[in-house]
Amino acid sequence: MKLTIEIDEDECTILKKRAKKNLLDLREQVEDIIRRSCINAGKNTSFSGKCDDNLVGIFSRERRGKKKKL
């Protein structure tokens, strides 16, 4: 399957640094991020319906744990 996305130069720079750190190229890094997100979304069967867009809900993280004191 072929998928085309557009990202900003700033985002591309961040992804390239992360890919270099993980000894991957940019394409492999993006594939790895999407693969791990899909795997983790499959483990979480309790989906909170707070989000209108299902994809945003799948690829977003919930804040858990202790709340920070101000």
3-state secondary structure 32-51: HHHHHHHHHHHHCCCCCCCC
Residue 15 DSSP symbol: H
Read off the pTM: 0.59
Report the pLDDT value the prediction gives residue 5, as an integer from 0 to 100. Answer: 87
Indicate if the pLDDT at residue 26 is higher than 70.
yes
Q: What is the token pair recorded at 14?
A: 């961040």
pLDDT band for 50, please (50, 70, 90 cuts): low
The pLDDT tens digits of the residues spanning 34-44 come to 899 888 877 76
